[in-house]
Amino acid sequence: MRHRLPIIVSSLLLLMACESYDCTLYNYVGMYGTFYKDGSAVQISDTLTITTGKSGPVLLNRAVGTSRLNLPMSYWQEEDTLVLTVKGDGYLFRDSVWITKDNQVHYESPDCPTTLFHNIRDVRSTHEFIKDITIIRSSVNYETTDNLQIHLLSTSD
């Protein structure tokens, strides 16, 4: 045991000397948005599908009862295109949304992966069923608070 004691002590000292950096466990960067109609948050009871362009990848597939969105943003493009399709009994609405943004590299440590944060500059749509989109918080990062309020057309519009 006497011969092992110096080895054990030096191993413990070596382990204590190593620096440990905890990378952020929740490192998802996504844009959040809530649907509104006539000034109140609402739920889309019909089927909602979201793609990146008319034939792009599907980001949200046939969701029912959606009130809030959580969508990824592209890494290097300055503008993202989203196509929101709402399908109900006997009708189909399709609205395109363009999000203009700046991309910012976020670096924490050499031990952690690099992520991209975004700053939303402008949002516009084709106004098929979306009346207006308001930017609530332009910074898209690790926070899970709303970035956009998506105001839907009411039946009187």
Q: Where are the beta strands (DSSP E) in the chain?
A: 31-37, 40-41, 44-51, 58-66, 68-71, 79-88, 91-106, 115-125, 130-135, 139-140, 148-152
15 is a domain residue: no
45 part of a folded domain: yes
| Structure confidence by residue, pLDDT tens digits, 98-112 | 999 999 998 877 777
Q: Which residue has the higher pLDDT, 85 or 28?
A: 85
Q: Is the pLDDT score of 93 beyond 80?
A: yes
Q: Closest by alpha carbon to 53, among 27, 84, 76?
A: 84
Q: Specify if 12 maps to a domain.
A: no
Cα–Cα distance for residue pair 140/110, rounded to 1 Å: 22
User: Is residue 5 assigned to a domain?
Assistant: no
Q: Does residue 87 sit within a domain?
A: yes
As for how many domains the chain has, the answer is 1
**Does some domain include residue 90?**
yes
DSSP-derived letter for residue 5 is H
Residue 36 lies in a domain: yes
Distance CA 28, CA 72 (A): 9
Per-residue pLDDT at 53 exceeds 60: yes
- Within a domain: 98: yes
Task: Write out the residue range of the structural domain in which residue 66 sits.
Answer: 21-152
Of 53-57, 59-63, 86-90, the one with minimum mean pLDDT is: 53-57
Identify residue 131 by its one-letter amino acid code.
K
